[in-house]
Amino acid sequence: MSKAYRIHINGIVQGVGFRPFVYRLAKELDLRGWVKNLSDGVEIHIEGENVELFCRRLLNEKPPLACIYSIEKTLTPEKQYSSFTIVESQRINTNNVNISPDIATCNDCLRELFDPADSRYLYPFINCTNCGPRYTIIFDRPYDRCNTTMKNYIMCKECKIQYNDPEDRRFHAQPVACFKCGPHLELLNHKRQKLKNCFSVINFIEQGAIVAVKGLGGFHLVCNAYDERAVKKLRMLKERGSKPFALMVKNLETAATEVIIDKLESEVLSSPSAPIVLLQRRNDKNSKIAKDVAPGLHTLGIMLPYTPVHHLLFQGKYDFLVMTSANLSGMPLIYKNNDALEQLHNIVDYFLLHDRDIYHPCDDSVVQIIGGQVCFHRRARGYVPVPIFVKEEFTQPLAGLGGEMKNAFCLAFENKAYVSQYIGDMHGYENYERFKQEYYSFQQVVNIYPEIIAYDLHPDYTTTRFAQSMDLPKYPIQHHHAHLVSVMSEYGLNSDLLGVICDGTGYGLDGKTWGFEFMVGNAQGFVRKAHLEYMPLPGGDAGVKHPVRIAYAYLKKALTESEWEQTKSLWQILTTFEKNILEAQLKNNFKIFYTSSAGRLFDVVSGILGICTKVTYEGQAAIELESRAALWQENQLIKKVDLAAERRLLETKRILATQLTYDTNNYKKRIIELYNKVVKEYSEELFPILLDMEKDIILLRIDRLLYEIVRRLISCSDIGEIAYRFHYSLALSILETAMIIGIIENKLVVGGGVFQNKLLTEILITLAQKIGVSIVYPTKLPIGDGGIAFGQAVIINNCNFSKD
């Protein structure tokens, strides 16, 4: 029976070959009507005998990059069309826009790229509806060529034929181009002199040159990763400190010679998003990778080529390239040709430029597999601007501005929240300007113009000052509450849950620096239930670059006089002047800031063990501490630690089960008394973190933990073993403290940058499984500060505030 449907589809259905797919399917089934792009998706009028089959196949056979969020199907009168056509896009006033992220070069385009018989043989900007630039080139909706940075490139006859042919893979591929009509590469030396052959850049890299290469979302600094001299020079000129460089590798088989890759990691590396994946290095002394690529780390950040230019570069006699973001230390990513020429001429030998403008600068995404799930360290290229869906709709357009470090902001309305690409740290005028640029241009892309603003509670954050400069209702959100709600909302969890938020810094309600917080709450509010005891931080944020100084202050507070005397050998790295200053600061409480930060605890342990004594990038001390722990492979001793932890968990469960009859006032104190006794009994295998009560809040005391670390270090225990036992002891204490507080619905939410630590988080997940508890951690947004803007947005949508 012949009938007609009007079908409205919302999702990522523009720029991914969806309309050509609909066209071909309709023709195959002998149906009539039309399909067109709207600002909020795609609309179809379909009529004929096989419309029901069409609807089923529409969902089951959609293009690989298409993602359907919603579909509305309505019976409508037949119009007696004679054929099926693709009609021009229409602009309507709606916010439901979904733009595809940038997509890695597809296999079809790769085949053509290296086919001498193809018209696009070796063309560096080959693309089709299944791959190529999307978000980074669009400045307005809908996704049509005239609304992208390709608008000034007039298609040649051949490209236009393909563009207009629904049977062609490039039908309505907006960036479609070729040698005749599209963007071109240009190779310049550091004096800006143009060289004739762009592909001679391959020879220059082979000879040890450093090259600035313009990519999809910005510039990379590139050199041969096997070349010790080139890598060392790049690190010095970029003022990189010890921060690891990302690597691009020719293919998966080559990558497997340097890192261990499991099935899921292989799939993520090869996915259309093509992120950097953090992978464990092979314990192989024959590694060819230059030592300065990732000093002190057991992992390498690896990605596969994702643009035609990358694939062309790998025609050289090298397997790995350093592919690090092109920005001067502390500055935003460079994405304009003139800026690259001005700012990088003292760093690079050559510039490989192109003339297709980038509208939205976008770093490479960074992920790691933790507990069998893909977890973001940085969410940007390949994933933005895919929205996060929420159960409880946002009642008005709003924004969460994020934090000061690893910033990303969030725009939200109705059932979607759009979290921006990684912006970076907010220190400095240039970074602030980049934040503002993206904040306003992102509104145009997603068509959300905020009417209410959420920002971090910290009074001195750049985002706080930005919020206060706007003539809109604006509300401060406590940092760790935003972390908690961000994770909960990703999973659609609205009822109160217990969460553990561990990070480096967050402004607390008491004006102190929080960072190891147990809180029960949801988007409506929270109650702080426990935290690490406050410890002295000399110099505040400025002091975090000196782990040994922090360790000095922590141990001075934590140890007895006789115990302190045993630590004198640890402070040889400090000058007499430094020690005198620290002593005076601690005595007079001068520029001493008190913190409950988990991040600083990792810094202290790393400093005590001599693993990292000076921090040159955020999180360095903790990252290098994890690496030393992860490389410790004494399996028999690990089994002993596992067994001790399992027994201690059972003892903790027994205590909780037998103390249920105690009255409410004394219940926790009695539990803690019995628990501390158990912790001490197992202190040979697991470092003790004892609990205490201060009013109605549990404190985690770390004095015995720190002394045990010092004692074992002085007695010449293996540093890797101490680091491993610290990780295990901390994970167990987190879980047991949560048990004593009371885990709700067998779910424990975790958030904060400390849980980017794969070793710590996986130990926690394994221990929790033993008692039937699920660890809830984010997989759609970063677990660190890159995810808090989403939490901020959800909180202001749920709470009644008094305007600040």
CA atoms within 13 A on the CB side of 92: 15
**Residue 783: its pLDDT value, please?**
97
Closest by CA position to 407, among listed 399, 397, 419: 419
**Residue 92: its pLDDT value, please?**
55
SS3 for 138? strand
The predicted model gives 563-577 an average pLDDT of: 95
Residue 250's identity, in one-letter code, is K
Task: Give the pLDDT band of residue 38 (cuts 50, 70, 90).
Answer: confident
**Residue 637: its pLDDT value, please?**
86
Residue whose tokens read 């993602």: 67
**Residue 87: its pLDDT value, please?**
87
**Residue 665: its pLDDT value, please?**
56
**Residue 328: its pLDDT value, please?**
85
* Whether the predicted pLDDT of 95 surpasses 50: no
Least trusted range by pLDDT, from 79-93, 162-176, 618-632, 709-723: 79-93
Task: Give the pLDDT band of residue 13 (cuts 50, 70, 90).
Answer: confident
CA atoms of 652 and 737, how far apart (whole Å): 10
pLDDT digits (tens, 9 = 90+) for 275-316: 999 999 997 788 999 999 999 999 999 999 999 999 999 999
By DSSP bridging, strand 41-48 and strand 84-86 are: unpaired
**Residue 140: its pLDDT value, please?**
87
pLDDT digits (tens, 9 = 90+) for 467-478: 999 999 999 999
pTM for the model stands at: 0.95
**Residue 540: its pLDDT value, please?**
84
- Look at 67 and 464; give whichever has higher pLDDT: 464
* Whether the predicted pLDDT of 246 surpasses 80: yes
Least trusted range by pLDDT, from 5-14, 410-419, 595-604: 5-14
Please enumerate in sequence order all residues whose Cβ is within 8 A of that of 228, keeping only pairs 6 or more positions apart, or say none.
290, 291, 292
Q: To the nearest whole percent, how much of the chain has pLDDT over 90?
A: 88
**Residue 543: its pLDDT value, please?**
85
SS3 for 486? helix
Note whether 45 and 34 are within 8 A (CB).
Answer: yes
pLDDT digits (tens, 9 = 90+) for 745-784: 999 999 999 999 999 999 999 999 999 999 999 999 999 9
CA atoms within 13 A on the CB side of 428: 12
Task: Give the pLDDT band of residue 636 (cuts 50, 70, 90).
Answer: confident
Least trusted range by pLDDT, from 5-14, 170-179, 342-351, 651-660: 651-660
CA atoms of 565 and 798, how far apart (whole Å): 53
* Whether the predicted pLDDT of 442 surpasses 50: yes
Residue 188 pairs in a beta bridge with 194, 351
Give me the numbers of helices (H) and strands (E) for the chain, helices first please: 24, 29
Report the Cα–Cα distance between both ends of the chain, in Å, rounded.
63
pLDDT digits (tens, 9 = 90+) for 483-525: 999 999 999 999 999 999 999 999 999 999 999 999 999 999 9
